[in-house]
Amino acid sequence: MSNVLLTYILPVYNTAPYLTKCLQSLLNQGLQPEEYEVIAVDDGSSDNSREVIEALAKDHPQIRLITQANAGVSAARNRALDNARGRFVQFVDSDDYLEENVMGPLLRRAVDEDLDVLMFNFKWVDTDGNFIKVSKPLDEMPPTTPVMNGPEFLDHYPMMQYVCWYLVRLEHLNRLSLRFDTSLIACEDGALAAKFLLHASRVAYNDATPYCYVNRSDSAMNNTDRNHLLRRIFSQIDAAALINRSITDYEATTGAQSPASVKGLRNLYLFFSMTKSLTCGCVDEVVAHMRDLGLYPFPCIGPEINYIGTKWKILHGLMMHPRVWSFLSRLYGMVKN
């Protein structure tokens, strides 16, 4: 049986300028070398990312490099999961990094309390490391929460969509045969997180902020090409459909209502798909795709997903009238141009 407690899942694609900082941060968490491993999957990088990893791995054998032809972040993460030996996994993007010596205490709690999932915070920084903001499930969070099952936890706290918010027991993922959907190019995190939280037996939260998300202007999320945006919007809608299926399966299996925060994440994906459809001038295509999946019309986002205020209801009301939303999209395009 492996003694590895933690596996860092690190997909890599053309992030050489950020990789050394990222990898060094994983090595500096106060863990003994035999307690953790870093599985870096080079997803067909065309820069010198592979060489950066290999250079560090010479002195740090806990770094394991896997190479593959470019297949996307989900395929890279799945490849790492299939090769992971740790009791827990943490997902890290290779242009982000961790604060030093924060993960050790979090891992100890996850191990000592036999958790399936441990949630924490992350903070936004710019490419120079300057602080932007901290993201928490709620503005007022306790230092820690008691252990609850997944649905109980989600009844108290919002559903957080990014997998970098969590430490997750590998056995929990494997028992449910959970992997990332490789057909998605956006929102694949939320589709997976909804499943592993809904079916978790032991979930808790710590008010710690180990994860530093680097806000890059050149990232894929900021690509403004219309075709790329439309693909991302469709992926977001498809992720909402997967969450909706998880909700349906959960309710059919348990006879209980799914937590409102999971439904809230589904609605959030649909809401912001409609927002993006207005700005990129593709309202008709987006509404048609939602209808094909049985997701239009959809409920408004609200406090269950930490969106509070009348403006969301007003926007939602407009979205539920496609002709009006299309007109606003054309108007937006005229003003923008």
Query: In the prediction, which pLDDT does 306 show?
Result: 87
Cα distance between residue 261 and residue 138, in whole Å: 12
22 phi and psi, to 5 degrees? -60, -50
Neighbours of 61 (CB within 10 A): 9
Compute the average pLDDT of residues 126-154. 94
> 195-209 pLDDT, tens per residue?
999 999 999 999 999
Query: Which candidate, 35, 48, 38, places its Cα nearest to that of 4?
Result: 35
> 264-323 pLDDT, tens per residue?
999 999 999 999 999 999 999 999 999 999 999 999 999 999 899 999 999 999 999 999
Cβ–Cβ under 8 Å, residues 117 and 42? no
Query: In the prediction, which pLDDT does 138 show?
Result: 87
Query: Which candidate, 287, 313, 285, places its Cα nearest to that of 301?
Result: 313
pLDDT, the chain, mean:
95
Query: Which candidate, 306, 131, 138, 112, places its Cα nearest to that of 207?
Result: 138
Cα distance between residue 14 and residue 30, in whole Å: 28
Cα distance between residue 295 and residue 141, in whole Å: 32
- Is 255 a residue whose pLDDT tops 60? yes
Query: Which candidate, 78, 59, 58, 55, places its Cα nearest to that of 68?
Result: 78
Angle between helix 322-336 and helix 283-292 axes, rounded to 10 deg = 150
Edge-to-edge strand ranges of the sheet holding 63-68: 63-68, 36-43, 6-12, 88-91, 166-169, 117-119, 203-205
Task: Provide the β-strand partners of residue 65.
Answer: 40
> 57-107 pLDDT, tens per residue?
999 999 999 999 999 999 999 999 999 999 999 999 999 999 999 999 999
Compute the average pLDDT of residues 4-14. 98
